Amino acid sequence: MVTPAEDAKSVVGVRFQRAGRVYYFDPAGMEIDINDQVVVETARGQSMGRVVIAPRQVVASELNEALKPVLRKASAEDAEQHKVVQQKERQALTRCSELAAKLNLPIKLRGAESNLSGNYITIFFSAEGRVDFRQLVRELAANLRVRVELHQVGPRDETKLIGGVGRCGYQLCCASFLTDFKPLSIRMAKEQSLSLEPTKISGICGRLLCCLGYEAEFYRSMKERLPPVGARVKTPMGEGTVSGANVLKEAVIVQFESQVPVEFPLAEVTRLDSGEVPKKKGGRPRN
């Protein structure tokens, strides 16, 4: 929380693309609410975006750079201009595809993004390796008569731009709400006792499923609390050996001499090889 003694700045969060990164701007004293469409000043000119974080106070030292201002709430004219720009983006993609084929460039176009005036456009593409697209940029800029930037994206960003449905039956996380891609590892799948078969833990992009990271910290912390497989434990049914665990239920699976596995809540299990020796029924503790 910002105190009066601290140098505070008012900021508003704006997003330009679905599930895209949130950028902060100076609300310039305007009354702005979440979901308002606003026109802001960016490094590439004026752009229109949607407010996703209402104005709030932050410590000035937390800001990495000077804030650019919100110019105005989007008007009907701005909305109409935005539609015109979107049409130009589609035309730019079509022309870029034709020129790429002419230059024999092995690229796949994935999307385009332009500022509100339409004089600056960024085209996103994917390719197997590095591509020299300098000639393509020159010809495309001359043809469209705007400033053009080509940006090569990786498998995750490519899938984010295309969108789709995951194995869970829902819209892809990256295309619906994920703004950043956090590091993932095969260790996360191991800690969650998931199959390590690539087809079962990989997404449409061919990389590890983003959802592996959602519960990774929970599984990690719980496994530190649960006794490991092979540990001797005491339960309400007597002593046995841990043969598994149900992390989501915070339960331990114990196998007895009868070879029958039984599941117990963690609170009912005491580890015997951790210095905690159970008392005998009816007996008295030794001095």
Question: Domains of the chain (ranges plus CATH)?
Answer: 8-74 (no CATH), 80-153 (3.30.300), 157-213 (no CATH), 227-271 (2.30.30.140)
The separation between CA 190 and the C-alpha centre of its own chain, rounded to angstroms, equals 21
What pLDDT digit, counting tens, does each position of 200-219 carry? 999 999 999 999 999 899 99
Between these two residues, 136 and 10, which has the higher pLDDT value? 136
Mean pLDDT of 39-53: 91
| Residue 87 structure tokens | 């049409």
3-state secondary structure of 90: helix
| Residue 15 structure tokens | 């997003």
How far is it, in rounded angstroms, from Cα 105 to Cα 150? 13
Asked if the model's pLDDT at residue 60 lies above 90, the reply is no
| Residue 129 structure tokens | 């390796």
How far is it, in rounded angstroms, from Cα 77 to Cα 72? 12
Of the ranges 31-40, 60-69, 70-79, which one carries the lowest mean pLDDT score? 60-69
Phi, psi of 98 (to 5 degrees): -65, -45
Asked if the model's pLDDT at residue 223 lies above 90, the reply is no
Average pLDDT of the chain to the nearest whole number: 87
What pLDDT digit, counting tens, does each position of 173-182 carry? 999 888 888 8
Asked if the model's pLDDT at residue 103 lies above 80, the reply is yes
Confidence of residue 275 (pLDDT cuts 50, 70, 90): very low
- Distances in Å between the Cα of 281 and the Cα atoms of 199, 256, 278 are 52, 19, 9
Please report the pLDDT score of residue 284 as a whole number.
46
Quickly count: other Cβ atoms within 10 Å of residue 32's Cβ. Answer: 19
The one-letter amino acid at 25? F
